[in-house]
Amino acid sequence: MNNARSHDLFSRAQALMPGGVNSPVRAFKSVGGEPFFVQRADGPHLFDVDGNRYIDYVGSWGPMIVGHNHPQVLDAVIETSRNGLSFGTPNPLEVTMAETIARLIPSCEMVRMVNSGTEATLSAIRLARGATGRNRIVKFEGCYHGHGDSFLVKAGSGALTFGVPTSPGVPKALADLTLTLTYNDFDGATKLFEECGSDIAGLIVEPVVGNANCLPPREGYLQHLRDLCTQHGALLIFDEVMTGFRVALGGAQARYGVAPDLSTFGKVIGGGMPVGAYGGRRELMQQIAPSGPIYQAGTLSGNPVAMAAGLTMLELVQAPGFYEALEAKTNALCDGLEAAARDAGVAFTTQRVGGMFGMFFTDQIVDTFAQAMACDSAAFNRFFHAMLERGVYLAPSAYEAGFMSSAHDDAAIAATVQAAREAFASL
Ligand code: PMP
């Protein structure tokens, strides 16, 4: 595979951009090697600057659920752009977007548009703190909620100790306010709320964890978190930046039948444009400025071109049978990968939920963060490169979920499984 142009671009990028990238995981640090630079994308494929084609299971980290360069999304963006790129005034598409989200996600009685998932989660915890008058928040080890200070925190030596910053620049005083739990541990959550439930403003969780590979909730786990929050007067926040419009039309909250107080969105909702949103119960959302005192704002929030892309995406995913077909594709891929691994004698398993999936180099069923971390990441890294050489792009980390799109047809999935047969054999 010729990578001369990508290599040259990466050298230039490294001279001027930290790590040569604008977002860390793109740099291939975890899998080794150098990233490729993409010229264009279409349907299930990426095409790099050296003319190589890849079947893409990253999908811009989630947004491209109908495939790249979808003609209707593209048309909406072009048409809307003709009227101007940004007005800084209310525009009609924002209203349609709010109506669409409120209809598709009933727990979101009101919504506020922002420009990224990070902004959505930052705003949601400010609201939780402002509305409850409490300062502590609870998150789960292995869940990622963007790069806000309160989220860049890991557990101290025990579950009930203060959180520890995972990045320089996060004040210890702020990290102290973040408590950390183990996902899918029922008793740990009960114990934490018994000890300090009355101090907790909100608990934020990826209802299906997509940032520690792919971990579905154990039966009843999300309801358990719902019950604890209700009992202790804390707000339950589902971070559906990844799962929203991905694991079901109504997100994980529809799939598992548990309604949070607040939800955050990103990725699919923007159709590939920089968009996030948060929403929830009316009496909570009304506390946001200007109807209430809790401040949050954005120069480009509700941008008309971004709204046009997102609204078109949300129309496309409402097509009858869209999620059933997407899930069938995910299952076909994961079943094919598991069979290929079995035939090659490689310990390997998958998890799938709707249009997202995880790959684990282990012979165990994996549904906790500790189990995900215990998998053979060196085997994953070799597999990643063996697949890349064969024209298949997986997330460049053993700890990221994969994403299916409706543009991945039978041929693309069959070609992926065939590449996997060769890749597993080469391990
Ligand atoms: N929450 C979750 C669950 C995410 O997966 C991400 C991004 N991967 C974020 C929040 C942050 O979103 P963004 O990168 O748009 O800031």
Looking up residue 411, the CATH number of its domain turns out to be: 3.90.1150.10
For 180, the token pair is 């950390």
Please tell me whether residues 335 and 407 are part of one structural domain.
Answer: yes
The residues that bridge with 140 in the sheet, in sequence order, are 181
Going from the Cα of 147 to the center of ligand 1, the distance in angstroms, rounded, reads 8
Q: What is the structure's pLDDT at 157?
A: 66
User: What are the respective helix, strand and coil percentages of the chain, to the nearest 5?
Assistant: 45, 20, 40
ipTM field = 0.99
Report which DSSP code applies to 245.
T
Residue 307: which of 165, 100, 163 has the closest Cα?
A: 100
Question: Could you tell me the strand order of the sheet in which 53-56 lies?
Answer: 38-42, 45-48, 53-56, 392-393
**Catalytic residue of the set 48, 56, 239, 367:** 239
The residue written with tokens 């790069």 in the block is 147
Please tell me whether residues 347 and 283 are part of one structural domain.
Answer: no
Is ligand 1 within 6 A of the CB of residue 118? Answer: yes
Is there a catalytic annotation at residue 50? Answer: no
Is ligand 1 within 6 A of the CB of residue 244? Answer: no
Name residues whose C-beta falls within 8 Å of residue 203's C-beta, 6 or more positions apart in sequence: 137, 138, 139, 225, 228, 229, 234, 235, 236, 237
Ligand 1: atom nearest CA of 119 is 16
CA dist 212 and 399 (Å) reads 5
Please tell me whether residues 350 and 304 are part of one structural domain.
Answer: no
Please tell me whether residues 351 and 289 are part of one structural domain.
Answer: no
Please tell me whether residues 47 and 104 are part of one structural domain.
Answer: no
Domain end (from 317, 350, 379): 317
**Catalytic residue of the set 57, 144, 221, 323:** 144
CA dist 360 and 350 (Å) reads 6
Name residues whose C-beta falls within 8 Å of residue 364's C-beta, 6 or more positions apart in sequence: 349, 371
pTM of this structure: 0.98
Note the Cα 97 to chain centre separation in Å: 20
Please tell me whether residues 43 and 57 are part of one structural domain.
Answer: yes
**Catalytic residue of the set 267, 278, 323, 399:** 267
Domain span holding position 212: 71-317
Report which DSSP code applies to 80.
H
Q: What phi, psi does 11 have (nearest 5°)?
A: -60, -45
Which residues in 177-284 belong to E strands, given as ranges?
178-181, 200-205, 235-239, 262-265, 276-280
CA dist 118 and 409 (Å) reads 32
Going from the Cα of 420 to the center of ligand 1, the distance in angstroms, rounded, reads 28
Please tell me whether residues 308 and 191 are part of one structural domain.
Answer: yes
Residue 155: which of 370, 408, 392, 407 has the closest Cα?
A: 370
Is ligand 1 within 6 A of the CB of residue 126? Answer: no
Residue 262: which of 419, 411, 126 has the closest Cα?
A: 126
Contact between 253 and 259 (Cβ < 8 Å):
yes
Shortest-distance Cα residue to atom 10 of ligand 1: 145
Is ligand 1 within 6 A of the CB of residue 243? Answer: no
User: In terms of C-beta density within 10 A (0-12 exposed, 13-18 middle, 19 or more buried), how is residue 171 classed?
Assistant: exposed
Which residues in 182-228 belong to E strands, given as ranges?
200-205
Name residues whose C-beta falls within 8 Å of residue 79's C-beta, 6 or more positions apart in sequence: 308
Which residues in 148-261 belong to E strands, given as ranges?
153-154, 164-165, 178-181, 200-205, 235-239
Please tell me whether residues 213 and 273 are part of one structural domain.
Answer: yes
The residue written with tokens 């360069």 in the block is 69
Report which DSSP code applies to 335.
H
Please tell me whether residues 202 and 311 are part of one structural domain.
Answer: yes
Is ligand 1 within 6 A of the CB of residue 127? Answer: no
Contact between 299 and 88 (Cβ < 8 Å):
yes
C-alpha triplet 104, 281, 199: angle, nearest 5°: 130
The residue written with tokens 């786990």 in the block is 221
Report which DSSP code applies to 298.
-
Q: Which of 144, 151, 397 to mutate to test the pocket of ligand 1 (most atoms within 8 A of CB)?
A: 144
Please tell me whether residues 28 and 17 are part of one structural domain.
Answer: yes
Residue 395: which of 412, 410, 409, 377 has the closest Cα?
A: 377
Going from the Cα of 144 to the center of ligand 1, the distance in angstroms, rounded, reads 7
Is ligand 1 within 6 A of the CB of residue 240? Answer: no
Domain end (from 261, 286, 317): 317
How many domains are contained in the chain?
2
Q: Indicate which CATH number applies to the domain containing 288.
A: 3.40.640.10
Please tell me whether residues 340 and 212 are part of one structural domain.
Answer: no
Is there a catalytic annotation at residue 144? Answer: yes
Buried/exposed code over 239-263 (b: 16+ C-beta within 10 A; e: otherwise): bbbbbbbbbbbbbbbbbbebbbbbb
Report which DSSP code applies to 409.
-
Is ligand 1 within 6 A of the CB of residue 263? Answer: no
Going from the Cα of 39 to the center of ligand 1, the distance in angstroms, rounded, reads 24
Q: Which of 23, 145, 149 to mutate to test the pocket of ligand 1 (most atoms within 8 A of CB)?
A: 145
Going from the Cα of 145 to the center of ligand 1, the distance in angstroms, rounded, reads 5
| Terminal Cα distance for the chain, rounded | 19
Domain end (from 290, 317, 344): 317
Residue 346: which of 355, 335, 334, 337 has the closest Cα?
A: 337
Name residues whose C-beta falls within 8 Å of residue 105's C-beta, 6 or more positions apart in sequence: 244, 250, 251, 253, 254, 263, 279
For 421, the token pair is 């047969």
One digit per residue, the tens of pLDDT, for the chain of length 427 reads 899 999 999 999 999 999 999 999 999 999 999 999 999 999 999 999 999 999 999 999 999 999 999 999 999 999 999 999 999 999 999 999 999 999 999 999 999 999 999 999 999 999 999 999 999 999 999 999 999 999 999 877 665 567 889 999 999 999 999 999 999 999 999 999 999 999 999 999 999 999 999 999 999 999 999 999 999 999 999 999 999 999 999 999 999 999 999 999 999 999 999 999 999 999 999 999 999 999 999 999 999 999 999 999 999 999 999 999 999 999 999 999 999 999 999 999 999 999 999 999 999 999 999 999 999 999 999 999 999 999 999 999 999 999 999 999 999 999 999 999 999 999 9
User: In terms of C-beta density within 10 A (0-12 exposed, 13-18 middle, 19 or more buried), how is residue 345 classed?
Assistant: exposed
Going from the Cα of 276 to the center of ligand 1, the distance in angstroms, rounded, reads 9
Please tell me whether residues 60 and 85 are part of one structural domain.
Answer: no
For 106, the token pair is 């009933």
Going from the Cα of 345 to the center of ligand 1, the distance in angstroms, rounded, reads 35
Is ligand 1 within 6 A of the CB of residue 242? Answer: yes
Shortest-distance Cα residue to atom 1 of ligand 1: 145
Is ligand 1 within 6 A of the CB of residue 121? Answer: yes
